[in-house]
Amino acid sequence: MSLRSITRQQWLTLFAAQAGYMLDAMDVLLFVFAVNVLRDEFHLSASEAGLVGSFTLFASAIGGIAFGVIMDRVGRTKALVWSILIYSLASAGTAMSWNLASLLFWRALVGVGLGAEWAAGAVLVAETWPAEHRAKAVGIMQSGWALGYLLAAAVTGIVLPRWGWKALFLTGILPALFAALLRKRLKEPEIWTNRTAAAKKIPLSGIFKGELRRRTLLGTLLASVVLFAYWGLFTWIPGFLSAAPERGGAGLSIVKTSAFVVPMQLGAFFGYVAFGWLSDKMGRRPAFVLYVLGAALVTPLYGASRPESTLLALGPVIGFLGTGFFSMFGAMLSELYPTALRGTGLSFVYNFGRGVSSLAPFAVGFAADRYGIGAALGLNSAFFALGGLLIFTLPATSKAELE
């Protein structure tokens, strides 16, 4: 089946999921770009700032797992719209923060929306698109994160220096308008609406029974490892670029930091899309190994670099390798579970792993207080490498027909 045979509804579903993830990323990453301003505003140490990021990720695990169950009961599209509303309102609520505790509260709610949106979007796309193009479609959906990173950088560069951090977070309400537009335009996947009466009664605990139990446990371990590496690295890259040299950073201005993120996220965008094509061509596992081992090599080099020219050159490379492999999760995890448990299984594996990875921003911040941010970034390399080994504990599922 060629791409020309893809229907208008399938394309609409794909781009709706991509846009939802893009706006999700923007709302989550506004904090990353404003971290040093917020540290000064609330007198936070690097560890405390990392704790805010950790709260967001931990809450995303709760939201993602909960919405996995919800989407298997009420539908994929409803879950997608609800998730966008949650992270939009919570991002705007961040502007009302007055201390560390209130900041933790609002960013935790943003996290709930983050976990819920990815799971709903990934399952929706996987169930809508044909098997031979599934990884490509999920890769395009996943690329929304890179676009959201770019959008967050642009919004920060424009709003933060002129109107301050409160105005910056108020822009996070805009995705709610997008959710309203989606409400009547998206349809549920036929494979979900046509599931049998018996399938509707399968207990959600089924992901821990029989062969699915092994897949769930090993998939969760893999997700935990590589998500720890990703969040430990990319939560702190803007902080590393803008931190003073005596803190182990590159000493760039906020505007220049935002500018340096642009080529990095362009690399990430192409990394997501290229992974989908490579995965459909050579298989999920070989493509994944290529990416994560490359990221393991580049990460310590980036953290040790200080010349602006070197950081600018390595940015697209670390963006391509350090993020593109996430396109594997939406496709492969969807292929590991039956329709009745797909939302629950995919959401549990990915978001439990994200919950474990919530320790990463704090761990890197803790190390940064002692050894400098640049040196702390290099710690994530070992987790990327371990992910390259763990992928072989899961079955090859390339182009599998969904059940």
Which CATH number is 344's domain given? 1.20.1250.20
The verdict on residue 246 lying in a domain is yes
Percent of the chain with pLDDT over 70: 93
pLDDT tens per residue, range 250-308: 677 767 877 787 898 889 899 988 998 888 888 888 999 999 999 999 988 888 778 88
- What number is the average pLDDT over the span 319-338? 85
Q: Give 214's pLDDT tier (boundaries 50, 70, 90).
A: very high
Tell whether the model's pLDDT for residue 54 goes beyond 90.
no
Tell whether the model's pLDDT for residue 199 goes beyond 70.
no
DSSP 201: T
Angstrom distance (rounded) from CA 306 to CA 303: 8
Tell whether the model's pLDDT for residue 316 goes beyond 90.
yes
Tell whether the model's pLDDT for residue 223 goes beyond 90.
yes
Q: Give 200's pLDDT tier (boundaries 50, 70, 90).
A: low
For the chain, the average pLDDT equals 83
Output the six-digit token pair for 57: 């990720």
- CB-side exposure of 308: number of CA atoms within 13 Å? 8
Which of 110-140 are b and which e, b meaning 16 or more Cβ less than 10 Å from the residue's Cβ? Answer: bbbbbbbbbbbbbbbbbbbbebebbbbbbbb
Q: Give 197's pLDDT tier (boundaries 50, 70, 90).
A: low
Q: Which domain holds residue 19?
A: 8-393
pLDDT at 390: 94
Output the six-digit token pair for 112: 């709930």
Q: Give 216's pLDDT tier (boundaries 50, 70, 90).
A: very high
CB-count exposure of residue 12 (10 Å: 0-12, 13-18, 19+): middle
The verdict on residue 313 lying in a domain is yes
pLDDT at 347: 84
The verdict on residue 398 lying in a domain is no
The verdict on residue 37 lying in a domain is yes
- What number is the average pLDDT over the span 31-47? 83
Lowest-confidence pick of 213-222, 240-249, 332-341? 240-249
Domains: count for the chain: 1
Can you list the alpha helix ranges (DSSP code H) found in 283-392?
284-304, 308-323, 327-336, 339-357, 359-371, 373-377, 381-390
The verdict on residue 3 lying in a domain is no
The residue with greater pLDDT, 211 or 1, is: 211
The residue with greater pLDDT, 147 or 249, is: 147
* CB 148, CB 24: distance < 8 Å: yes
pLDDT at 196: 57
pLDDT tens per residue, range 92-115: 899 898 888 998 999 999 889 888
The verdict on residue 318 lying in a domain is yes
DSSP for 121-172 reads HHHHHHHHS-GGGHHHHHHHHHTHHHHHHHHHHHHHHHHHHHHHHHHHHHGG
CB atoms within 10 A of CB 254: 18
Tell whether the model's pLDDT for residue 60 goes beyond 90.
no
pLDDT at 289: 93
The verdict on residue 399 lying in a domain is no
Q: Give 383's pLDDT tier (boundaries 50, 70, 90).
A: very high
Tell me if the pTM is above 0.85: no
